[in-house]
Structure 1
Amino acid sequence: MKKFVLAAALTVVASSAFAGSLADPIIEAPVIVEEATSSSAGILVPLLLLVLVAAAVASD
């Protein structure tokens, strides 16, 4: 009876050890979302800088 219980216990332990498969897991790449910039954003900063320089020159 002791051998039967020991064999059953080893069977349970061994079966849980081989529960996974040998295939590599499939890992999906993270999704990267880029926000679209408007074409006027590239010209807005230089125009603002030009206005600030013109205001500084006019105040002198």
Structure 2
Amino acid sequence: MKKLVLAAAFAGAASAASAGSLADPIIEAPVIVEEASSSSNGIVLPLVLLALLAAAVASD
């Protein structure tokens, strides 16, 4: 019984002693997600306006 208690004490001391490390923690950089914008978005509005202008001229 005495050996069992002694073994448990050594096991507890050994696990507590190796709980941490001396190395610096590695901190990862935050991930930044940027939404990609389409280059065709700038041309859609002028094309729609041109189509409306052409329809207005054609109806006169």
Coarse TM-score class (shorter-chain normalised): 0.3 to 0.5
